[in-house]
Chains A and B, each alone.
Chain A
Amino acid sequence: AQKITQTQPGMFVQEKEAVTLDCTYDTSDQSYGLFWYKQPSSGEMIFLIYQGSYDEQNATEGRYSLNFQKARKSANLVISASQLGDSAMYFCAMRDISGAGSYQLTFGKGTKLSVIP
């Protein structure tokens, strides 16, 4: 079974500052993928970034980077130069990618990020 833990229900960050959203996971799968999604108040789920368990480099997508520490089973999202439009819920998720397991994405409970002007 897979489990995602996001321990920060809410976070505040000053505009233009960087912020780290925590995510730890537990799985017995050898091959897995880690995802981060942003959910604004409109309700849509916006894909931000992906990290594969065998990827040696940390993933980056524009202002988003994923701090992947496999031994600690953590996959923290770093947002640089925060903008007011970054205010939203952020969900960490994972999935088995071996092809033999379930295709289900397992989600954490989310972190609500508020960017202060």
Chain B
Amino acid sequence: SAVISQKPSRDICQRGTSLTIQCQVDSQVTMMFWYRQQPGQSLTLIATANQGSEATYESGFVIDKFPISRPNLTFSTLTVSNMSPEDSSIYLCSVRTQGVSEQYFGPGTRLTVT
């Protein structure tokens, strides 16, 4: 398995500001993903973080709003830009290790936008 940490664990931010969330894994992983979970909802994939190249975004998510970096095989950041109350969610980093049966999640970042 992989041990995943996220910073910050939670934050309260004002609308119009930006927050950068960090995801650190204790071992090199093949794939890293960012998910969003809005209150009372299931998880939705935002994007796949690609090492050394631009992230691959899912429909409904754009780079200007959710810029992502992945400088190496163990670290990624997600920025939530120009926040509005609708961005209040749990943001989760997820990693896939070598085996197809393995996909793990970080502890999540609980974001509240006021």
Contact = CB atoms under 8 A, between A and B. Distances in A.
A117 B37 CA distance: 30
Interface string A74-117: 00000000000000000101010100000111011110000000
Contacts of A47: 1, 102-105
Q: Is the interface of B mostly helix, strand, loop or mixed?
A: strand
B43 interface: yes
Interface residues of B, number: 25
B51 to A, nearest CB: 14
A13 B41 CA distance: 23
Contacts, number: 54
A109 B44 CA distance: 11
Size bracket of the A interface: 20 to 34
Contact of B45 (A37, A105, A110): A105
17 contacts: A35-B103, A43-B110, A44-B107, A44-B108, A45-B43, A45-B105, A47-B1, A47-B102, A47-B103, A50-B101, A52-B100, A93-B43, A104-B45, A104-B58, A105-B45, A105-B94, A110-B42
